[in-house]
Amino acid sequence: MSPSKSIFLKALNREILPTAPIWYMRQAGRYMPEYRAIRKKFSNFMDMCKNPEVCCELALQPLNAYELDAAILFSDILTVPDALGMEVNFIEGKGPIFNNPINTANDIFNLPIFDPENVSYVFEAVSNIKNAIHEDIPLIGFTGSPWTLAAYSIEGQSSKNFNKTIGFLKEQPHAMETLLTMLTDACFIYLRKQVQSGADVVQIFDSWANLLNEKEIESISHKYIKNLIQYLKQDSITKDIPIILFSRDPKCSSNSLIETKADCLSLYSTMVNFEKELTYGRVAIQGNLNPKILLESRNIIKDETYKILSKYKDYPGYIFNLGHGITPDINPDNVKYLTDIVREF
């Protein structure tokens, strides 16, 4: 990697750039016909994630289509609970279903220690992708946040309000702390191995931060994200790896997110009044076009995109991205159009 050439790494290093680097959350996925052609060969999405050659091919698809400034590992955040014996499968029309979710405090105390051998397929995918991409294109590895992984592990499936998880949090706070601590350790080992295998940057997805109130987000989510970031910053292998934090619609101040010590904050679409003045010079920013805008006309796409680019044009460390992942209903031609107009700005 010649880091001096990557505008993505420059932005993460808080440089002001003439053009914003671009990548998209969920840039590989069902909205792409090339993805669907491969996906239909697997009935269970998890089996596809366990095939490092296929993961490599899928990670390259969006780079080939749009010449993006970063690649992201093709995998899923649910590989970690799967590796802890919870057996995650994806059922058509239902999303992820856990065979052994956490039901009681004892289930937590009986969890095995995370063994990275159980996810060796992820590290193989990382090294395959790293070998296949141009040396100037950084590769992003990722994990779910401890809280987000705990929420899926208890709920055992996707849910709108995660009632079982919220109930468990109220009734079993000590067991919850144990689970969050175990997951923090697992995430650290998981990311460290991804870096050893070739990841240049890592992103932490706190996709269910929105379930927590302002007080809980500190003690249930950010406390463990801070620990994870501290472990990464202290480790000889990961200490110089930029860390991006995506938090979905968090009920907290921008300061609380900055205090996690992430190098870059990935802003959710609703974070329009995020205090730019407060974050200026302290943290890089990524985001945050609402993915739904990609369903609108080209005039609207351009207006909304240029509003965001104007806002951040002199910001030290700005990366263009969406506020959340691309959804399956988006037309790939609009993703191409969006990429072109960001570069023309």
Q: Which residues bind ligand CP3 (CB under 6 A)?
A: 25-30, 39, 45, 72, 74-78, 90, 95-96, 142, 158, 205, 207, 325
Cβ distance 22 to 342 under 8 Å? yes
Q: Which residues pair with 159 in a beta bridge?
A: none
Q: Which residues pair with 246 in a beta bridge?
A: 205, 266
Tell me whether the omega of the peptide bond preceding residue 255 falls within 30 degrees of 0, making it cis.
Answer: no
Cβ distance 291 to 326 under 8 Å? yes
Least distance in angstroms from the C-beta of 96 to ligand CP3:
5
Which is nearest to 24 in space by CA: 337, 285, 308, 326?
A: 326
Least distance in angstroms from the C-beta of 248 to ligand CP3:
6
Least distance in angstroms from the C-beta of 123 to ligand CP3:
15
As a whole number of angstroms, the distance between CA 201 and CA 111 comes to: 29
Task: Please report the beta strands in 124-254, taking only residues with DSSP state E, as ranges in sequence order.
Answer: 139-144, 201-206, 243-247
What would the 3-class secondary structure string for 239-299 be?
Answer: CCCCEEEEECCCCCCHHHHHCCCCCEEECCCCCCCCCHHHHCCCCEEEEEECHHHHHCCHH
Tell how far CA 214 is from the center of its chain.
22
Tell me the residue type at 250. P
Query: Closest CB to ligand CP3 belongs to which residue?
Result: 207
CA of 13: how far to CAs of 69, 205, 296, in Å? 15, 20, 33
95 or 281: CB nearest ligand CP3: 95
Tally DSSP H helices, then E strands, for the chain.
16, 9
- Catalytic sites, residue numbers: 26, 30, 39, 76, 152
Least distance in angstroms from the C-beta of 55 to ligand CP3:
9
224 or 315: CB nearest ligand CP3: 224
CA of 180: how far to CAs of 3, 168, 257, in Å? 34, 13, 18
28 or 342: CB nearest ligand CP3: 28
24 or 188: CB nearest ligand CP3: 24
Least distance in angstroms from the C-beta of 158 to ligand CP3:
5
Least distance in angstroms from the C-beta of 314 to ligand CP3:
29
